[in-house]
Structure 1
Amino acid sequence: MKRWIQKGWRPTTLIILLLVLWEGSSRWLDIPAWLLPSPSQIWKEVLVSWSDFQGHLLATIRLTFIGFICGSIIGLGVATILHLMPKVRETVYPLIIISQNIPTIVLAPLLVIWFGFGILPKVIVITLFCFFPIAIATLDGLRQTTDELKHYMLMVGASKGQIFRKLEWPHALPSIFSGLKIAATYSVMGAVISEWLGGNHGIGVFMTLASSSFRTDRVFVSILYIVILCLLFFSMIVTAERRLIRWKPKGEKR
């Protein structure tokens, strides 16, 4: 709490000032609600539309969680294999980098053609969003272990597996959590984008219906909940990081 008071009041004050400026400009310039609703109109819509919106919110949370878990498992697994098998890494790593030059949103229509309109293509989209930051961060973290520590463990007779489990993996945890934090925010955006592919529930569906009917206030409601979900998911990863990485000095925690 003390830390928030010291560092958090500045961005909070800025956000409040921007909202006040937005509210005042909307009323003074008499901007139509369909063009740019004021913060008070958006908040009113948050309260009014909650009964209709909560089902979409729960659907997006469920989809985000599934996609994030799949992306994390695949990203960590691929990074581990590439680290333990250098020759495979030299072959596959450039392909992983090249794959990121293909926009994921471009693959979405193809995924619908291949897998239909069910949950599978949506999960694949989120997995693709999460995979890259987790895999790259994990690979970088596993390579940060100093040669001196590896040499010391080899001197005491440690096997390659023991070095990985007891030295390289713990040292890679800060980097892994950095990738997880990036993927946490990507997963929410990936879920919303994947819901644009089709379906009956989800924030992406709610946003599409709102924009097609010129309900700009509902579009901003969707954006507000997306931001809140990203912050909550990010905070969960930060909390897990603080609980699991207790061996690092406070000044080194990310």
Structure 2
Amino acid sequence: MVIIAVWQFAVVQFDIPQYLLPAPTDIIEVFFTDYENLINHSIITIFESISGFMLAVLIALLMGILMDFVDIIRKCLYPLMLITQMIPTITIAPLLVIWFGFGILPKTLMVILTCFFPILVSFVDGLENVDKDYLNLFKTMNASKLDTFIHLKFPMSIEKLFSGLKISATYAVMAATVAEWLGGTVGLGVYMVRSKKAYALDKVFASTILIVIFSLIFVGVVQIIRKKVLKNRNV
């Protein structure tokens, strides 16, 4: 609150033009004067973020399970996926737009590519770091690989999995927005680019605030689900 008060005072006192730095009151005003545009663009960005995030979770889980059951796949794919993460996402987004157009699909794919790897790494790490004594116990009981996975490995890896989910949740909205920046017709990223070109920095700040809020909500939902799942696991 102190920072906001100083910000407001400085803008008014030194008569800073709005196109250089809008006052907090100007940014708040945008939420009332341009709320219809903000809502319409936000709906698309949220849809892209949620759908991409959910698909990233599904793909990461399936890939993690496959890598746990088939060792050769883990040895071949894991280094390859590690290398792909070294490619800046800002260079991938234009390619997705060229290949798949300006619709929702390339934005969803961008979210998947951004969120997939942290989830996979955390999940695989959890599966590989199960206590050896537990694994030996299951072996002495002649448990199959599937039974060991269902009753031991997966439950023991859930906490690590949620760590990856939390990290990815912070990236989902940002990834969708970056993809919209580089090619799109609707979404908060498009709204920000248009506002920037019009030197309407109050709208840029307003859309940025929404992106932060949506990201916090994503992380909060993951945290709530984590607490419920871990609580039920310990019952």
TM-score range, shorter chain: over 0.9
Displacement of 1:200 after TM fit? 2.6
Counterpart of 2:52? 67
For the residues of structure 2 that align with 1:235 and 1:96, how far apart are their CA atoms?
28
Q: Distance in 2 between matches of 1:113 and 1:22?
A: 41
215-224 vs 71-80, greater mean Cα deviation: 71-80
Which residue in 2 is equivalent to 1:121?
106
CA, structure 1 residues 248+30, in 2 after alignment: closer, same or farther (shift >3 Å)? farther
Measure how far apart 1:136 and its partner are: 0.5
Q: State yes or no: 1:82 paired with 2:67.
A: yes
Measured on the aligned residues, the alpha-carbon RMSD in Å equals 1.4
Aligned ranges for residues 103-114 of structure 1 at < 5 Å?
103-114=88-99
> Which runs of no fewer than 5 residues in structure 1 stay unpaired?
1-15, 250-254
Q: In terms of mean alpha carbon deviation, does 85-94 or 240-249 score higher?
A: 240-249
3-state SS in 2 of match to 1:245: helix
* Partner AA of 2:65 in structure 1: T
Query: CA deviation digits over 1:152-191, x for unaligned, max 9?
Result: 1121221110110111101111111111111111110011
Identify the residue that residue 10 of structure 1 maps to in structure 2.
none
Structure 2 unmatched ranges of 5 or more: none
Give the deviation of 1:104 after TM superposition: 1.5
Does 2:134 match 1:149?
A: yes
Question: TM-score of the superposition, structure 2-length normalised?
Answer: 0.95
Is contact 1:75-1:135 (8 Å) kept? yes
Secondary structure at the residue paired with 2:182?
coil
Q: Kindly tell me the number of residue pairs found equivalent between the two proteins.
A: 234
2:187 to 176, 198, 202: 202
How far apart in 2 are the matches of 1:127 and 1:157?
A: 38
Moved over 3 A (4+): none
For 2:121 and 2:28, how far apart are their aligned partners in 1?
A: 40
Q: Percent identity?
A: 37
1:177–1:237 Cα contact (<8 Å) kept: yes
**TM-score (norm. length: structure 1):** 0.88
**Counterpart of 1:174?**
159
Choose the corresponding residue for 1:223, options 205, 208, 213: 208
- Quick one: distance in 1 between partners of 2:192 and 2:177? 9
Tell me: CA distance 1:200–1:114, structure 2 relative to 1, closer, same or farther (3 Å).
closer
Report if the CA contact (8 A) 1:138-1:175 is conserved: yes
1:113 Cα shift? 2.1
The equivalent position to 2:146 in structure 1, one of 146, 161, 175, is 161
Contact 1:125-1:194 at 8 Å conserved across structures? yes
Q: Deviations over 1:77-134 (max 9, x none)?
A: 1122112222221121111111111111101222222222222211111110011101
Q: Distance in 1 between matches of 2:19 and 2:58?
A: 43
Distance in 2 between residues matched to 1:232 and 1:109, nearest whole Å: 28
Q: What is residue 98 of structure 1 aligned with on the other side?
A: 83
Q: Give distance in 2, aligned partners of 1:44 and 1:115.
A: 37
- Counterparts of 2:57 and 2:131 in 1: how far apart (Å)? 26
SS of equivalent residue, structure 1 residue 36 = coil
Could you say which residue in structure 2 is the equivalent of 1:18?
3
Look up the SS of the partner of 2:5 in the other structure. helix
Tell me the distance in 2 between the aligned counterparts of 1:196 and 1:75.
Answer: 26
CA contact (8 A) 2:27 2:202 kept: yes
Q: Identify the match of residue 235 of structure 1 among 220, 226, 231.
A: 220
Q: Does 1:133 align with 2:144?
A: no
For the 8 Å contact 2:94–2:183, the answer to whether it is kept is no
